[in-house]
Amino acid sequence: MPLSDYRTALVTGASAGIGAAVAERLAQQGLTVHALARDAERLADLARRTGCVPHAVDVADTEALTDAVSGFKIDILVNNAGVGHAGTILAADESAVDELLAVNLRAVLHLVRLLVPGMVERDLGHVVNIGSIAGVYNFPGNTVYHATKAAVHTLSRQLRIDARGRRVRVTEICPGRVETEIFGRLLGDREGARRIYYDGYETLRPADIADAIEYAIGAPRHVNIGHIEILPTFQVPGGLSFERRLDG
* 215 has catalytic annotation: no
SS3 state of residue 93: coil
Low-confidence residues in the chain, pLDDT < 50: none
pLDDT at position 2: 65
DSSP state of 163: T
Angstrom distance (rounded) from CA 231 to CA 132? 10
pLDDT at position 86: 83
For the chain, the domains span: 3-230
Contact 175, 128 (CB under 8 A): no
Angstrom distance (rounded) from CA 64 to CA 37? 12
Residue 147 CB contacts under 8 Å (≥ 6 apart), including other chains: 89
User: For 177-198, what is each residue's pLDDT tens digit?
Assistant: 898 877 767 666 778 777 777 7
In the set 145, 197, 201, 215, the catalytic residue is 145
pTM of the model: 0.93
Fold assignment, 3-230: Rossmann fold (3.40.50)
